[in-house]
Chain A
Amino acid sequence: NAGVTQTPKFRVLKTGQSMTLLCAQDMNHEYMYWYRQDPGMGLRLIHYSVGEGTTAKGEVPDGYNVSRLKKQNFLLGLESAAPSQTSVYFCASRDPLGRSSSGANVLTFGAGSRLTVL
């Protein structure tokens, strides 16, 4: 099983450009999350989704939009990239009913997407 796959792995943008990060999971997990990781600040929750067609804001949602049109995909969009959005972005998913091999509350992470905004 691939688990959680993030694309692209690396991207360099200019200020003001837009882009979308794609997260795909093949574990039939209901919940999906987007985090950003900056040095010394750990992982901060951007947005999350508890099911297809639903999204919710996390700690740092400003400047980002998300969509969950299909259960297996969670897209993170930057409409107008800023240097402050330079970070490593992680997607994660979980099955709240614990039907998968991991527990109900355990997140399975992707390998990360490194974004640099110049």
Chain B
Amino acid sequence: GESVGLHLPTLSVQEGDNSIINCAYSNSASDYFIWYKQESGKGPQFIIDIRSNMDKRQGQRVTVLLNKTVKHLSLQIAATQPGDSAVYFCAEKRNNNDMRFGAGTRLTVKP
């Protein structure tokens, strides 16, 4: 069935380096995508979002890229810090209002 998924389950980077977390989706009708960050023992928290009619959106130290041709979403984190260590999820909003999440990528930042 259709799903939102991630290419890699874990990612380890050096402090100060840039991080790229990828997400593949298969529902071409989804009109909105969101990245969430989940720290241990907490619920997911919003990071950045992008509409399907955009291909790039920038926030503070984060950038989301959307490639609708290959149904691919990525989250770029600049100058990764130890506080960025968490599990990152992409989510898609389907046109029936349900919100589906990918499996998540665990980001570990090494000092």
Contact partners of A48 in chain B: CB under 8 A: 97-99
Return the chain A residue nearest B31 by Cβ: A105
10 pairs of A and B residues whose beta carbons are closest in the complex: A109-B43, A42-B103, A43-B101, A42-B104, A105-B32, A106-B46, A42-B101, A109-B44, A105-B93, A111-B43
Q: A103 interface residue, CB < 8 Å from B?
A: yes
Contact partners of B44 in chain A: CB under 8 A: 43, 90, 107, 109
Per-position 1/0 for A60-97, Cβ under 8 A of B? 00000000000000000000000000000010100010
Q: B56 interface residue, CB < 8 Å from A?
A: no
Interface centre among B34, B46, B98 (most CB of A within 10 A): B98
Q: B67 interface residue, CB < 8 Å from A?
A: no
Assign chain B's interface to a size class.
20 to 34
A109 and B89 form a contact (CB under 8 A):
no
Per-position 1/0 for A95-118, Cβ under 8 A of B? 010000011011111111000000
Q: With A90-B43, A105-B49 given, is the CB distance from A31 to B97 under 8 Å?
A: yes
B100 and A59 form a contact (CB under 8 A):
yes
Of the candidates B34, B97, B104, the one whose C-beta lies within 8 Å of that of A106 is B34
Chain A residues at the B interface, C-beta cutoff of 8 Å: 4, 31, 33, 35, 40-45, 48, 50, 56, 58-59, 90, 92, 96, 102-103, 105-112
Contact partners of B91 in chain A: CB under 8 A: 107
Per-position 1/0 for B84-111, Cβ under 8 A of A? 0000010101001111111110000000
Per-position 1/0 for B45-59, Cβ under 8 A of A? 110010000000000
B103 and A112 form a contact (CB under 8 A):
no
**Given A42-B104, A45-B100, A105-B99, 16 other A-B residues pairs in contact with their CB atoms under 8 A:** A4-B43, A31-B97, A35-B101, A42-B103, A50-B97, A59-B100, A90-B44, A96-B97, A103-B49, A105-B34, A105-B93, A107-B91, A108-B46, A109-B45, A110-B43, A112-B43
